C-alpha cells in the first residue's frame, strides 16, 4: 500500500493547476523507444517538453526534426520543434526548471542476469542534483518491485524534501509495442502508482492530460509488479508453445496446424506462436527482474526460470534443424554450406534488433563454419562476431547461391511465393510461407 502523505501543503494543488493549464514545464529523461513517443504525446497535448539524453548524435538528430524510432515519423518531430513544444538537450542543469520529469532509460540485465539499474540511478542522481521543490518524478523504466520506493525515494529525500509534500514520486510502466499501429502510447491504458495517495493523484492528473485511459493502483510496488506480470505472462506462454513445437517435431506433427485448430475454441484458449527465440527489450528481460527479486526473498520462480531456459535454447534448436536439413536434402555439412537469413529484427516490420534471436542464430551458424548472408529491408547493417555486416540485396542470384534460406523474421514486405520459387530449400521459423501455393516441398517449418 502507498505510504501516508506528509503534512499537507499547497504544493500538490499548485502543480496540478499548472499541469491542467499546460504551463507545467515537462521533462523526459531518455529519448528512446519509450521516451520519444511519450514526449510527442505530451507535446501534442500542449505541453512544452524538454527531452534529456546523453547521446549527442541523438540530440542533434531530434533537434534537426528527424526520428530514429520506428513509430515516430520525422514529420511529427519536426512539427513539434517548429511549434516550440519540443526540444532535446544534453544539459541536465535544465532539470532545475522542470515541473515534471519522466524517467525512460534502459534497464538491461548483466551477464549473470542480474538487474542493471545503473541507468536509473544515474538519471536519479542527476535529478537530485538539480530538482526544485514541487516537482513530479515518474519512473517508467521496467524494473523489479520495490525499486521506486527502496532506491529512488531515499536518494531524492537526501535533498531534505519530503515525498507527498515537497515532491511527488510515482511509477507508471511503459507499454510500448514497437510496430503496433493499433495500440500506441496514446490509446494503451496507463497504470499509475504513487509513493503516497497525493503522489498517485498528481501523477494521474499529469497523464490524463495526454492519455485517455488511466488506471491507478495502490502503490509504486503494485505498478512495478503489473508490468512484470504482463511480460512474464507472455514469456511463459511463449515458452510453453516453443516446447509444444519441440514435442510436435518429435511426434512428426505440424505445430502450426495444431495451434490453428486449437484457436477455433471460442473460450479458454489464447494462441501464442513458436519462433527462433525471444527478442525485444521487454519479454526476454523483464521476467528475470521478478525472478531475481524473488530469489532475494528465498523464493524460486520455477515457471519463469523454466520458460527462460526453453526460450533461450531455441536458437540452438534452430541451428540443429538447419544442420539436419542440409544433411538430408543435400548431403552437405554446415561448415561447407552457404546460408541466407531473411529478417534480423526481433519482430516483423520494424528495425529494432534488441535481443533479436536472429543474431544468436547467425552467430551459432558462423561459429560452426557456415557462410552467412542476410537480408532485412529494415536493418541495413548489423554487427555479429565483432564485425559489421551489410544487408545483401535480395536478388534471384543471391537466393540461388544459398544452399538454404532461413526465415527468421516474417516481414510483410517479402514476396514469399517468389522466395520459395527461387530458393533451393527453406527453413521457415515463423510460418511466413503459410499462404504459398507452389513448391511447398521445398519448405520445412519450425
**What ranges do the domains of the chain cover?**
11-219, 313-445
C-alpha cell at 38: 511519450
Cα–Cα distance between 427 and 400 in angstroms, integer? 15
| Maximal CA-CA distance, the chain | 79
Same fold, 11-219 and 313-445: yes
CA 288 vs. chain centroid, Å, equals: 14
Active site residue 282: yes
pLDDT at 386: 83
- Contact between residue 97 and residue 61 where contact means Cβ atoms under 8 Å apart: no
Higher-pLDDT residue of 354 and 374 is: 374
- Contact between residue 162 and residue 194 where contact means Cβ atoms under 8 Å apart: no
CATH 3.40.50.720 fits domain 11-219: yes
The bridge status of strand 100-103 relative to strand 136-139 is parallel
Number of C-beta neighbours around residue 203 at 10 A: 30
Alpha helices in 209-301 (DSSP H): 220-251, 255-262, 286-295
DSSP string, 362-426: HHHHHHTT-EEEEE-TT-SEEEETTEEEEPPP--HHHHHH-SEEEE-S--TTS-HHHHHHH-S-E
150-194 per-position pLDDT tens digit: 999 999 999 889 999 999 999 999 998 888 889 999 999 999 999
C-alpha cell at 442: 521445398
Which residue of the set 104, 199, 248, 282 is catalytic?
A: 282
pLDDT at 4: 73
pLDDT at 7: 56
pTM for this one? 0.91
Cα–Cα distance between 18 and 152 in angstroms, integer? 25
Examine the pLDDT at 123 and tell me if it is beyond 80.
yes
Examine the pLDDT at 281 and tell me if it is beyond 70.
no
pLDDT at 10: 66
Cα–Cα distance between 28 and 35 in angstroms, integer? 6
C-alpha cell at 436: 504459398
**Which positions ≥6 away from 57 have C-beta within 8 Å?**
none
**Which positions ≥6 away from 62 have C-beta within 8 Å?**
31, 36, 51, 77, 81, 86, 88
Q: What is the mean pLDDT of the chain?
A: 94
395-407 per-position pLDDT tens digit: 999 999 999 999 9
pLDDT at 51: 98
CATH of domain 313-445: 3.40.50.720
* Residues facing residue 147 across a β-bridge: none
- Residue in 346, 331, 328 with CA at minimum distance from that of residue 429: 346
- Contact between residue 341 and residue 375 where contact means Cβ atoms under 8 Å apart: yes
Q: What percent of the chain has pLDDT over 90?
A: 84
pLDDT at 8: 56
Amino acid at each position: 500500500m502507498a505510504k501516508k502523505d506528509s503534512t499537507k501543503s499547497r504544493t500538490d494543488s499548485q502543480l496540478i493547476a499548472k499541469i491542467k493549464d499546460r504551463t507545467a514545464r515537462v521533462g523526459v529523461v531518455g529519448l528512446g523507444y519509450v521516451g520519444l513517443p511519450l514526449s510527442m504525446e505530451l507535446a501534442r497535448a500542449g505541453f512544452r517538453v524538454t527531452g534529456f539524453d546523453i547521446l549527442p548524435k541523438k540530440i542533434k538528430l531530434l533537434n534537426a526534426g528527424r526520428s530514429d524510432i520506428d513509430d515516430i515519423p520525422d514529420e511529427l518531430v519536426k512539427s513539434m520543434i517548429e511549434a516550440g513544444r519540443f526540444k532535446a538537450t544534453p544539459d541536465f542543469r535544465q532539470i532545475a526548471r522542470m515541473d515534471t520529469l519522466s524517467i525512460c532509460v534502459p534497464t538491461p540485465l548483466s551477464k549473470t542476469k542480474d538487474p542493471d539499474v545503473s541507468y536509473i540511478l544515474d538519471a536519479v542522481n542527476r535529478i537530485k542534483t538539480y530538482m526544485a521543490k514541487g516537482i513530479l518524478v515518474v519512473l517508467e523504466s521496467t524494473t523489479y518491485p520495490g525499486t521506486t520506493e527502496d532506491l529512488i525515494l531515499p536518494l531524492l529525500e537526501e535533498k531534505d524534501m519530503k515525498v507527498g509534500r515537497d515532491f511527488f514520486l510515482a511509477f507508471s510502466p511503459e507499454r510500448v509495442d514497437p510496430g503496433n499501429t493499433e495500440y500506441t502510447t496514446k490509446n494503451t491504458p496507463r497504470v499509475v502508482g504513487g509513493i503516497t495517495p497525493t503522489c498517485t493523484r498528481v501523477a494521474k492528473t499529469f497523464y490524463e492530460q495526454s492519455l485517455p485511459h488511466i488506471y491507478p493502483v495502490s502503490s509504486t510496488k503494485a505498478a512495478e509488479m503489473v508490468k512484470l506480470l504482463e511480460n512474464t505472462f507472455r514469456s511463459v506462454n511463449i515458452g510453453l508453445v516453443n516446447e509444444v513445437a519441440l514435442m510436435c517435431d518429435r511426434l512428426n506433427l505440424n505445430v502450426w496446424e495444431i495451434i490453428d485448430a486449437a484457436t477455433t475454441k471460442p473460450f479458454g484458449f489464447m494462441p501464442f506462436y513458436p519462433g527462433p527465440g525471444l527478442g525485444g527489450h521487454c519479454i526476454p528481460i523483464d521476467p528475470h527482474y521478478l525472478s531475481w527479486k524473488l530469489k532475494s526473498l528465498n523464493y524460486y520462480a520455477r515457471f519463469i526460470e523454466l520458460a527462460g531456459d526453453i526460450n533461450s535454447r531455441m536458437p540452438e534448436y534452430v541451428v540443429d534443424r538447419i544442420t539436419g536439413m542440409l544433411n538430408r536434402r543435400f548431403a552437405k555439412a554446415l561448415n561447407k554450406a552457404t546460408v541466407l537469413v531473411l529478417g534480423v529484427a526481433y519482430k516483423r516490420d520494424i528495425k529494432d534488433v534488441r535481443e533479436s534471436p536472429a543474431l544468436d542464430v547467425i552467430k551459432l551458424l558462423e561459429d560452426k563454419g557456415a557462410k552467412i548472408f542476410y537480408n532485412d529491408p529494415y536493418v541495413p547493417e548489423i554487427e555479429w562476431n565483432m564485425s559489421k555486416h551489410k544487408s545483401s540485396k535480395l536478388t534471384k542470384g543471391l537466393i540461388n547461391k544459398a544452399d538454404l534460406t532461413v526465415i527468421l523474421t516474417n516481414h510483410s514486405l517479402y514476396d514469399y511465393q517468389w522466395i520459395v520459387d527461387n530458393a533451393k530449400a527453406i527453413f521457415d521459423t515463423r510460418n511466413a510461407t503459410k499462404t504459398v501455393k507452389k513448391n511447398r516441398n521445398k519448405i520445412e517449418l519450425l
